[in-house]
Chain A
Amino acid sequence: MQALLAQLLVGLINGSFYALLSLGLAVIFGMLNIINFAHGAVYMMGAFCAYFLLNVMGIGYWPALIVAPIAVGIFGMILERTMIQWLAGLDHLYGLLLTFGLALIIQGVFQNYFGSSGLPYAIPPELQGGMNLGFMFLPIYRGWVVVCSLVVCFATWYLIERTSLGANLRAATENPTLVRAFGINVPRMITLTYGLGVGLAALAGVLSAPINQVRPQMGADLIIVVFAVVVIGGMGSIMGSIITGFALGVVEGLTKYFYPEASNTVVFVLMVLVLLVKPSGLTGRTT
Chain B
Amino acid sequence: MRHKASAILLGAALAISASGAAFAQDKTVKIGVLTDNSGLYADLGGPGSTVAAQMAVEDSGLTGKGWTIDVISADHQNKPDIGATIARQWIDVEKVDVLMDVLNSGVALAVNNVVREKNSLMINSGAATSDLTGKQCSPNTVHWTYDTYMLANSTGRALVKAGGDTWFFITADYAFGQALERDTTAVVVANGGKVIGDVKHPLNTADFSSFLLQAQASKAKIIGMANAGGDTTNTIKQAAEFGIVAGGQKLAGLLLFLTDVHSLGLPVAQGLNLSSTFYWDANDQTRAFAKRFSARMKTKAMPTMVQAGVYAGLLHYFKALQALGGNPHDGTKVADKMKEIPTDDVLFGKGKIEANGRAIHPAYLFEVKKPSESKGPWDYYKLVGTTPADQAFRPVSESNCPLVKK
Contacts and interface: CB of A to CB of B under 8 A. Distances in A.
B238 A217 contact: no
Interface residues of B, number: 45
Interface stretch (A24-32, A75-83, A113-121): A113-121
Interface string B288-302: 000000000011010
Nearest to B266: A120
Interface residues of A, number: 43
Contacts of A261: 173, 200, 202
Contacts of A3: 213-214, 217
A115 B259 contact: yes
B257 to A, nearest CB: 8
A213 B236 CA distance: 10
A215 B299 CA distance: 14
B206 A218 contact: yes
Contact of A113 (B202, B217, B243, B299): B299
B299 A213 contact: no
A87 B237 CA distance: 42
B95 to A, nearest CB: 30
Interface string B228-257: 011001100110011100010000000000
Contact of A117 (B205, B217, B233): B233
Interface stretch (B34-42, B133-141, B333-341): B34-42
Given A10-B209, A211-B238, A117 B202 contact: no
Given A136-B213, A263-B201, A120 B40 contact: no
A139 B242 contact: yes
B67 interface: no
Given A120-B265, A217-B39, A256 B44 contact: no
B100 to A, nearest CB: 19
B237 A211 contact: yes
B241 A142 contact: yes
B237 A213 contact: yes
A28 B38 CA distance: 29
Given A112-B298, A122-B265, A213-B230, 19 more contacts: A7-B210, A10-B210, A10-B213, A113-B298, A115-B42, A115-B299, A116-B41, A117-B40, A120-B264, A120-B265, A120-B268, A139-B242, A217-B230, A221-B204, A222-B206, A256-B211, A260-B202, A261-B200, A263-B205
Interface of B: 38-44, 46, 173, 199-202, 204-207, 209-211, 213-214, 216-217, 229-230, 233-234, 237-238, 241-243, 247, 259-260, 262-265, 267-268, 298-299, 301
